[in-house]
């Protein structure tokens, strides 16, 4: 499960990330509200954990903007024990759960797992770019389904359009531990994806940045 944890106390953030990873979660950290909101919008998570008191944007601001954008990922709010008012505001803004600080990681793990067991809300998990629409659940690009690895690659490229995605990063994301010595496979999949883009009559191209990686761009 992928978790986004937005927390400005770096020491706490790093410690909780470490413990959550030991429990088998994939954790992305953001250290301020803006960074947190960007990650919550751009990426797909199974659960978002938001501290309330954050620089730039509060946890409640992030939650409200996520819900405005119809992102229905379960959210757990964190706040100091005394801030009862924050709890009420958080839950009113559409948080799914609330945990008082200080907390034990086992408690947080239990809350995350409880939310994950809830029936998933029907949601549009899609990324759009320049006339392309990638459906994450169906692994389909403009309605055409792809193999798992093709889908994973296009997903990674579409997360940061017009920016170079490093080849090593793609290898580790898509092939994980099996990545060693498989760089040529990527080329094969990239050329299949280029063919698919052509078939879709898309203006979008995947360009090779020699010695570095790939990026997806408009025409
Ligand atoms: Ca804080």
* Residue spans per domain, the chain: 2-116, 126-218
Q: Report the predicted TM-score, pTM, of the whole model to 2 decimal places.
A: 0.56
Taking residues 79-98, report their average pLDDT.
72
For the cut 50, the answer to whether the pLDDT of residue 90 exceeds it is yes
Distance 81 CA to ligand 1 centre (A): 13
Q: Which residues, by Cβ under 5 Å, contact ligand 1, an ion? A: 8, 51, 53
Ligand 1 geometric centre to CA of 32 (Å): 9
Residues 6 or more apart in contact with residue 180 via CB below 8 angstroms:
none
Task: Please state whether 181 falls in left (phi above 0), alpha (psi between -120 and 50) or beta.
Answer: left
Q: How high is the mean pLDDT of the chain?
A: 88
- pLDDT for 96: 86
pLDDT for residue 203: 92
Better-scored residue on pLDDT, 16 or 168:
16
* Residues 6 or more apart in contact with residue 42 via CB below 8 angstroms: 159, 160
CATH number of 126-218: 1.10.10.10
Q: What is the pLDDT of residue 177?
A: 64
Give the pLDDT confidence of 186-200 residue by residue, as tens digits: 888 999 999 999 999
Rounded Cα gap, residues 1 and 44, in angstroms: 10
For residue 54, the CA-to-ligand 1 centroid distance in Å is: 5
CA 8 to centroid of ligand 1, rounded, Å: 5
- Mean pLDDT across 210-219: 91
Q: What is the pLDDT of residues 95-154, one digit of tens each?
A: 888 888 889 999 999 999 888 776 555 455 788 899 899 988 889 999 999 998 899 999
- Average pLDDT, integer, range 62-89: 81
Average pLDDT over every residue of 2-11:
96
Give the pLDDT band (50/70/90) at residue 9: very high
Q: Given this model, what pLDDT does residue 71 score? A: 86
Confidence of residue 178 (pLDDT cuts 50, 70, 90): low
How far apart are the CA of 47 and the centre of ligand 1, in A?
Answer: 19
Q: How far is the CA of 92 from the centre of ligand 1 (A)?
A: 20
User: Could you tell me which CATH class the domain 2-116 is placed in?
Assistant: alpha beta
Confidence check: pLDDT of 80 > 90: no
The sign of the dihedral angle between the CA atoms of 190, 194, 199, 201 is positive
What is the pLDDT confidence band of residue 82, given thresholds at 50, 70 and 90? Answer: low
Question: From the CA of 28, how far away is ligand 1's center (Å)?
Answer: 17
How far does residue 118's CA lie from ligand 1's centre (Å)?
Answer: 28
pLDDT of residue 81: 58
181 confidence band (pLDDT: 50, 70, 90) = low
């Amino acid at each position: 499960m992928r978790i986004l944890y937005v927390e400005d106390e770096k020491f706490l953030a790093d410690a909780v990330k470490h413990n959550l990873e030991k429990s088998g979660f994939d954790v992305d950290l953001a250290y301020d509200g803006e960074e947190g909101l960007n990650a919550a919008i751009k990426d797909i998570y199974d659960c978002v954990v938001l501290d309330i008191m954050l620089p730039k944007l509060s946890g409640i601001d992030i939650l409200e903007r996520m819900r405005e954008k119809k992102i229905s990922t379960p959210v757990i709010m964190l706040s100091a024990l005394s801030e009862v008012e924050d709890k009420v505001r958080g839950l009113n803004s559409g948080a799914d759960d609330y945990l008082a600080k200080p907390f034990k990681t086992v408690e947080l793990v239990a809350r995350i797992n409880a939310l994950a067991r809830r029936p998933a809300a029907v949601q549009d998990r899609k990324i759009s770019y320049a006339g392309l629409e990638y459906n994450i659940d169906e692994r389909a690009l403009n309605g055409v389904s792809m193999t798992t690895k093709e889908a994973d690659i296009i997903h990674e490229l579409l997360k940061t359009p017009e920016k170079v995605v490093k080849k090593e990063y793609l290898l580790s994301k898509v092939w994980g531990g099996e990545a060693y010595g498989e760089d040529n496979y990527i080329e094969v999949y990239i050329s299949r994806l280029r063919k698919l883009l052509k078939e879709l009559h898309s203006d979008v191209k995947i360009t090779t940045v020699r010695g570095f990686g790939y990026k997806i761009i408009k025409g």
